[in-house]
Structure 1
Amino acid sequence: MSQQLPPSADWIGHPTVDAVFDVVRDTAAEVREALPERRAYVEGHNPSGEKVRAADEYADELFCERLLALDSVGSYASEERQSAREADDGGEYHLALDPLDGSSNLTSNNPMGTIVSVYDEPVPTGGDHLVAAAFVLYGPNTTMVVSDGDSVDEYLIEGAADEGDDGRKLLREDLTLPDDPTVYAFGGRRPDWTDGVTAAVEDLEADRLKLRYGGAFIADVMQVLTHGGVFAYPELTDSPEGKLRYCFECAPVGFVVEAAGGRASDGYGDLFGTDPDRLHARSPVYLGNEELVDRVEATLS
């Protein structure tokens, strides 16, 4: 017997932010359909020096065009752009997107996602200026996790909205991290980890946590939100800032994890105490059950 899903309501009950997430829902459905034909790399690199696929460019252009058309949006920034693009008529919110997180997984047909941050001032800025955040996961199903900072809800995205159907179903309301964590995921090559990071992982493995790492930030974090545990992309011996971008990845996903009852850290303190000095600034990040993140911090210090 199939599960009866509850009806959907507003995303977070804030009309102008809900309008942003409506656009994300509709656009994500189109991005998903377009992925099979846009697997190839294109010329050039993004501002972080990474190779770009046709799917990255397509998703970025589509989200940018549609989100900037909203009166409430003052600017749009993404991992694929050197600088933010400002709206003709400045709105009150400033968006920072990773349009296609984990696009390297396209060839191997593994999950990827879209990360959306809603700030109340232009980026770069600290995570304490986040108003809301969401991410879409293109897995066996397309799902969207949304948070206003107080709670987290997960939706099944069935397609773009049309008359009489808003294109989504509520899967989990007030999603919270399980009290009995079972998974961990640390990025980077083990030989490149610092001694502190290596010791932190050994401590986690002593608790028989299972490794779950698939190379897409959103997919790995969703494992932690579902099963409990900790995700990290830590500082490395040759890259003390780690890999993930603060405004586009670390801050918004940390915002979601903390609203789900977890904790977000840069390894030495509150992730939201960071004040990035450039749009594509990176930061180490540790997300998950509070007790586990606290243990990692204690080991690193």
Structure 2
Amino acid sequence: MTAYEPGGDAVDRIVDSIAETATAVRDGLASDRTAKVGTNPSGERQEAADVRADELFEEALLAHEGVGTYASEERQELVDGGSGEYHIALDPLDGSSNLRSNNAMGTVFGIYDAPLPAKGRDLVTAGFVLYGPITTMVVARDGVVADYLIEGETPERLADDVTLPEDPDIYGFGGFVPDWPDDFTAFAREIEQELKLRYGGAMIADINQLLTYGGIFAYPGLESNPNGKLRLQFEGNPIAFVFEAAGGASSDGTQSMLDIEPEGFHQRCPLHVGNTELIERLEASLE
């Protein structure tokens, strides 16, 4: 069983389009490096690269008969694609603020078989593309995670059955530290004595390191914003789906991310993913 087979069934062909479009997104990054165009529906800075990536993915994905709707972090509303059974949620360019400093970025995607907004349990496939020194794609499906190199016309499988290492090595926690709740701060102080800090400002780069080395990533709820920063449909659910398929765990602080009842397209949520033992310790530490 593989997570994704190029040219396979309808879901695989949707992933084919994501991989192909990611190449076009990557190739256009240099020309979009310093352009800012406004803010997205979540009130965050929107780069020209965000808009361009969103437009490229929309065109490619809505061309599939199997796609019913397309939703993006860069759009207020979803786009109707027809009567297809699959519904796509994307963060077209995660970490686009890193473009100016030439640090890693990514694309996060979730393919749901229920109308959006949907629960994480409605995902059939999820994953991400990492625009790093090389461009890679992680795909999770049917409890299997695999890693692919995006170079040339067809993605090349680098690793089958990707699982979190049993011995965790790194951690990365987001948010303004003085704004962390006291219970999370206490947990973070413990983790600092056990693991090495790796945090680069683009969630996908941090997540990919975590899959490689094991540990824990968190963007917690904050004192000023208990719902945190990350969006459930576009980031929380897909990343949780990948980590649970890789033998790890996810949590919003009390439950699996995949069990959260959605309330809207741009709903925010705390996100914690990593080795199961660390996530269980985190949940026990939060009041």
TM-score in same-fold range (> 0.5): yes
Decide whether the 8 Å contact of 2:104 with 2:202 is kept in 1. Answer: yes
1:263 aligns with 2:249: yes
2:140 corresponds, among 140, 147, 163, to 147
Q: Deviation at 1:268? A: 1.3
CA distance in 1, matches of 2:237, 2:43: 21
Structure 2 unaligned runs (5+)?
Answer: none
Which residue does the alignment assign to 1:72? Answer: 66
For normalisation by structure 1, the TM-score amounts to 0.92
Which residue, 173, 178, 200 being the options, matches 1:186?
Answer: 173
Contact 2:173 2:217 in 1 (8 A): yes
Runs of 4+ in 1 over 2 A off after TM superposition: 8-14, 40-44
Structure 1 CA distance for aligned equivalents of residues 34 and 18 of structure 2: 24
Q: Which amino acid aligns with 1:102?
A: G
* 1:220 aligns to 2:196 (yes or no): no
Correspondence for 1:31: 25
Mean alpha-carbon deviation: is it higher for 11-20 or for 141-150? 11-20
Q: How many percent identity over aligned positions?
A: 53
Gapped regions of structure 1 (runs ≥ 5)? 1-7
- C-alpha change, 1:205 and 1:10, in structure 2 (3 Å) is closer
Contact kept? 2:73, 2:90, Cα under 8 Å: yes
The AA in structure 2 aligned to 1:203 is: E
Question: What do residues 159-186 of structure 1 show as CA deviations (whole Å, max 9, x unaligned)?
Answer: 3x2xxxx2x2211110000011010000
Q: 2:266 aligns with which of 261, 277, 280?
A: 280
Structure 1 residues 117-266: aligned runs within 5 Å: 117-159=110-152, 161=153, 166=154, 168-207=155-194, 209-266=195-252
In structure 1, what is the Cα distance between the partners aligned to 2:14 and 2:129?
13
Residue pair 2:3, 2:145 contacting (<8 A) in 1 also: no
Counterparts of 1:116 and 1:212 in 2: how far apart (Å)? 23
Which string of whole-angstrom CA distances, capped at 9 and with x for unpartnered residues, describes residues 123-160 of structure 1?
1111111110020000000000001141100011103x
Q: Which position in structure 1 is the counterpart of 2:11?
A: 17
Q: TM-score, normalised by structure 2?
A: 0.97
Alpha carbons of 1:80 and 1:140: their partners in 2 closer, same or farther (altered >3 Å)? Answer: same
Contact residue 149 and residue 255 of structure 1 kept, 8 A = no
The letter of the residue matching 1:143 is T
**Structure 2 CA distance for aligned equivalents of residues 261 and 95 of structure 1:** 24
Which amino acid letter does the alignment assign opposite residue 281 of structure 1? Q
Who is 1:4 aligned against? Answer: none
The Cα shift of 1:205 comes to 1.6
Answer yes or no: is the 8 Å Cα contact 1:192–1:237 preserved in 2.
Answer: yes
Counterpart in 2 of 1:3?
A: none
Letter in structure 1 aligned against 2:176: R
Q: How many residues are aligned here?
A: 286
Task: Give the Cα separation in 2 of the matches to 1:14 and 1:265.
Answer: 32
Deviation sequence 1:189-218 (CA, Å, 0-9, x none): 1101000110111121222x0010001111
Distance (whole Å) between structure 2 residues aligned to residue 250 and residue 14 of structure 1: 27
- The alpha-carbon deviation at position 300 of structure 1 amounts to 0.6
Deviations 1:234-260 (A, max 9, x none): 010001000000000010010000000
Secondary structure class of the residue paired with 1:96: strand
Question: Does the CA-based 8 Å contact 1:41-1:52 persist in structure 2?
Answer: no
